[in-house]
Amino acid sequence: MVKQNNLLATLDELKQANLYRTRRIIDSAQGVYLRVDGRKLLNFCSNDYLGLANHPQVIESFKQAVDKYGVGSGSAHLVCGHGYEHHALEEELADFTGRERVLLFSTGYMANLGVIAALMGKGGVVYEDKLNHASLLDGGLLSGAKFKRYLHNDMHNLQAKMHGLMPDQQAMIVTDGVFSMDGDYAPLEALSELAQQQGAYLMVDDAHGFGGLGATGAGLVEQCQLNQQQVPVLVGTLGKAFGTSGAFVAGSEVIIETLIQKARTYIYTTALPPAIAAATRTSLQFVINDSWRRDKLKMLVQRFQTGARQIGLDLMPSESAIQPIVLGNSLQALQASEHLLQQGLWVSAIRPPTVPEGSARLRITFSAQHTEQHIDQLLCALEGLPA
């Protein structure tokens, strides 16, 4: 029998350090209110920014596709799993992002691992923001390229890291668009300019920007008006503002074809269920056409920021739907989350290693389904947080 004493000791250490993670059981559809462990809670920790995860028309598209195609895709895209709905969604996302082509992946994590490994390798250098999502960091580490991390959004530090890069050396700058735990934006214009000067790829994972930012919801890259040449590799996920699941990579014909041939996380995995792709095609139309959802989200964020400052909360510099409140140590964050839970509000406590040591926090997120009354209820509960 395998000895598990070391594993048990590690688990105990996590508990002692207030870093142990637990799962809560949800027995309802995603929405502003969730039924969690038998209780109805007001939800402030979902990434369903536009409130599309339980939209009746998105659900109906899913049901119709299930009736036609069944539940599973049967195989990988390159065997017999690439269906009409997948292909149509790729073409519509390419048009949406203003890129030549799009490639669907089963998850955002798999997209990021696959893209970096397919485009980079030994002899190259990958430069990543220190606060990048774990999937981007893992992609850089697993690619075989030299891996360098630069200080968060620090262009001077990145330039220093890139000093000495050989003219013929392959390089890639990798960043989140909207950072998932801080909610702030990457300096995409400056990153794009530096990447072009150095002859490097710029890869932007705009998972938390798509839907909520840009004139048509095409994210921070659209808001910054950067084209395919300026941001050659654009990644988005479908499980956040789109309300479904999966991910995509948008880029040139050559880049997408290279990924089809070389991205192991694309080649060797089962394709998304066709019904998910069909539902996403419907949610995409809501992302594009329902600009009121983005307008409302912005209004709710502003209302929260104004109220938070009035009650003396120190907010991070975020204009996105992600509004973190840094509390310091993990115990403080857990106690604050539990206090809000007792008030009927669900706000996650985020602790290391997800965030740096000493920056445990409440990660508050908003949805277009929230109301002004919901914001005021949250603020009232936050005002009563124990010191």
Query: What single-letter amino acid sits at 298?
Result: K
Question: Residues 55, 77, 161, 240: which is the catalytic one?
Answer: 240
Q: Which residues of 173-186 are buried (b: 16+ CB within 10 A; e: fewer)?
A: bbbbbbbbbbbbbb
Residue (of 277, 264, 227, 233) closest to 104 by Cα position: 277
26: Cβ contacts below 8 Å, ≥ 6 apart: 34, 35, 36
Ranges of H-type helices in 77-148: 84-97, 108-119, 134-142
213: Cβ contacts below 8 Å, ≥ 6 apart: 178, 219, 220, 222, 223, 294, 320
Per the annotation, the verdict on 180 as an active-site residue is yes
Instruction: Find out whether 337 and 350 touch, Cβ atoms under 8 Å.
Output: no
Residue (of 158, 168, 120) closest to 142 by Cα position: 120
Question: Residues 46, 61, 106, 180: which is the catalytic one?
Answer: 180
Residue 365, phi then psi, degrees to nearest 5: -125, 150
Residue (of 44, 52, 55, 54) closest to 301 by Cα position: 44
Distance (Å, whole) CA 160 – CA 151: 11
Q: Dig out the tokens for 48 from the structure.
A: 């369903």
Question: Residues 133, 208, 296, 370: which is the catalytic one?
Answer: 208
Instruction: Find out whether 368 and 243 touch, Cβ atoms under 8 Å.
Output: no
Instruction: Find out whether 127 and 151 touch, Cβ atoms under 8 Å.
Output: no
3-state class of 79 per DSSP?
Answer: helix
Per the annotation, the verdict on 63 as an active-site residue is no
Per the annotation, the verdict on 240 as an active-site residue is yes
3-state class of 8 per DSSP?
Answer: helix
Q: Which residues are catalytically annotated?
A: 180, 208, 240
